[in-house]
Structure 1
């Protein structure tokens, strides 16, 4: 995958997990990943990066800082700090949802990204309350 992206190719795969709900459902949607063209990437970009432990993660950029990216899954409330550009191997170009291709340049996709990032504080409150009252 890394080699294909580094050579300028595209990689299409079906992500697993629940960290990017509600946009990406476990093993339902397909994503098209391309080599990052910008350095630094932009807020709202969905990136495929490699954690220090070797794990591949597909999450969204919440903020771009001098010491790295702040990244989080759409269905999470814990941020990852200092993700370096060198750890990013790809950025999502588009998604196939219910058989329909949605470009990351699409107006409604961009509106979703901004709204989802904007409600992060509410998401944090929801998850904390759920954790406190259900455990």
Structure 2
């Protein structure tokens, strides 16, 4: 099968039509914010229509107010009905995501040729463990970033 690379904005009307008809849309993810769960331009995600209310650990595809399309994980459902989202490879959360910004939610994904359902108990356990260790990951990722910048400065001065 031949694949064609197109911008998500071009595909959006067709995606919405398909999702509204209870269908699903499969596409290759782009970006590093969901690593290691979803790898940039390697893994594929299956998106279905979003329920009326998302749950913690769901992965919605949404549109920021700036018009940017993002696929991140729900880390909190706020009392006012908005969501706090964060990429698995991100330092900071994005609060205030409204239901009307949600296009769909990941039902499952293909990693290394294997389909992983987001309802799989092992995957759900992985999500809980991944977020349990967020404070430690935050420190490690920040330290690694600082070390990388320090090494670049050292190499420039040599």
Query: Matched residues in 1 for 2:112 and 2:146: separation?
Result: 35
Deviation at 1:133, TM superposition (A): 4.1
* Residue number in structure 1 paired with 2:153: none
In the TM superposition, what are the counterparts of 1:30-41 in structure 2 within 5 Å? 30-37=44-51, 39-41=52-54
Q: Larger C-alpha radius of gyration, 1 or 2? A: 2
TM-score in terms of structure 1 length? 0.92
TM-score in terms of structure 2 length? 0.79
Say yes or no: does 1:19 pair with 2:33: yes
Of Structure 1 and Structure 2, which has the larger fraction of its residues in helix?
Answer: 2
Say yes or no: does 1:118 pair with 2:93: no
Higher relative contact order by CA 8 Å / sep ≥ 6: 1 or 2?
Answer: 1
Of Structure 1 and Structure 2, which has the larger fraction of its residues in strand?
Answer: 1
Residue from 99, 123, 128 that aligns with 1:109: 123
Say yes or no: does 1:48 pair with 2:61: yes
Q: RMSD across aligned C-alpha pairs, in angstroms? A: 1.3
SS at match of 2:85: strand
- Uncovered stretches (5+) of structure 2, i.e. residues with no partner: 1-14, 150-158
- Uncovered stretches (5+) of structure 1, i.e. residues with no partner: none
* Residue number in structure 2 paired with 1:6: 20
